[in-house]
Amino acid sequence: MKLIIVESPTKTKSISKFLGKEYKLLSSYGHIRDLPQKGLGVDIKNNFKPEYVISDKAKKVVKELREAAKKSDLIILATDEDREGEAIAWHILHALKMNEKGNYQRIVFHEITKSAIEKALENPRKIDINLVDAQQARRILDRLVGYKLSPFLWKKVARGLSAGRVQSVAVRLIVDKEREIKAFKPEEYWSIEANLKKQDNPEEFIARLAKKDNKKIDKLGIKDKKEADEILKELKGAEYKISDIQKKETKKYPAPPFKTSTLQQEASRKLGFSAKQTMRLAQQLYEAGLITYHRTDSLNLSNESLRDANEFIKNKFGLKYISSSPRVYKTKSKGAQEADEAIRPTKSEHDPDEIKNYPDGRQYKLYRLIWQRFIASQMNPAILDNVAIDIQANGSTGSPCIFRANGSTIKFDGFLKIYSTKLKEKNLPELNKEEILELIKLISEQHFTQPPARYTEASLVKILEEYGIGRPSTYASIISVIQDRKYVEKDDQKRFVPTEIGFTVIDILKKHFPKIVDVKFTANVEENLDKISEGKQKWQDILKEFYEPFEKNLKKKTEEVKKEDFQKKLGRKCPECKSELVEKFGRFGKFIACTNYPECKYTEKSADDKKKEDEIRKNEGDEKGDIICDKCGSKMEIKNGPYGMFLGCSKYPECKNIKKIENKTGVKCPECKKGEIVERKSKKGRIFYSCSKYPKCKFALWDKPIKEECPKCKSLLVQTKNNKIKCSNKECAYKKDD
Catalytic residues: 293
Parallel/antiparallel/unpaired status of strands 382-394 and 400-412: antiparallel
Half-sphere exposure of 555 (CA within 13 A, CB side): 5
How far, in Å, CA of 309 to CA of 176, rounded? 44
What is the distance in angstroms between the CA of the first residue and the CA of the last residue of the chain? 71
- Output the CA angle 347-77-111, nearest 5 degrees: 10
**How many of the other CB atoms lie within 10 Å of CB of 290?**
26
Instruction: Annotate 379-394 with b (16+ C-beta within 10 A) or e (fewer).
Output: bbbbebeebbbbbbbb
How far, in Å, CA of 593 to CA of 600, rounded? 9
Comparing CA positions, the residue from 375, 82, 417 lying closest to residue 256 is 375
What is residue 147's three-state secondary structure? helix
How far, in Å, CA of 278 to CA of 271, rounded? 10
Comparing CA positions, the residue from 581, 625, 627 lying closest to residue 606 is 581
How far, in Å, CA of 513 to CA of 149, rounded? 9
How far, in Å, CA of 170 to CA of 144, rounded? 18
How far, in Å, CA of 155 to CA of 566, rounded? 11
Q: For the sheet containing 644-649, what is the strand order?
A: 636-641, 644-649, 658-660
Q: H/E element holding 170?
A: helix 167-183
How far, in Å, CA of 659 to CA of 332, rounded? 51
Output the DSSP codes for 344-399. Answer: -BS-TT--GGGGTTSSSHHHHHHHHHHHHHHHHHTBPPEEEEEEEEEEEEE-TTS-
The answer to whether the bond into 151 is cis (omega within 30° of 0) is: no
Comparing CA positions, the residue from 467, 450, 373 lying closest to residue 419 is 373
Helix (H), strand (E), coil (C) string for 421-472: CCCCCECCCCCCCCCEEEEEEEEEEEEECCCCCCCCHHHHHHHHHHHCCCCC
Sign of CA dihedral 431, 433, 435, 440: positive
What is residue 102's three-state secondary structure? coil
Instruction: Annotate 101-132 with b (16+ C-beta within 10 A) or e (fewer).
Output: eeebbbbbbbbbbeebbeebbeeeeebbebbb
What is residue 316's three-state secondary structure? helix
Query: Phi/psi zone of residue 39: left (φ > 0), alpha (ψ -120 to 50 degrees), beta?
Result: left
Are the beta carbons of 250 and 380 closer than 8 angstroms? no
Parallel/antiparallel/unpaired status of strands 2-6 and 74-77: parallel
Phi, psi at 302, each rounded to 5°? -70, 155
What is residue 687's three-state secondary structure? strand
How far, in Å, CA of 734 to CA of 737, rounded? 9
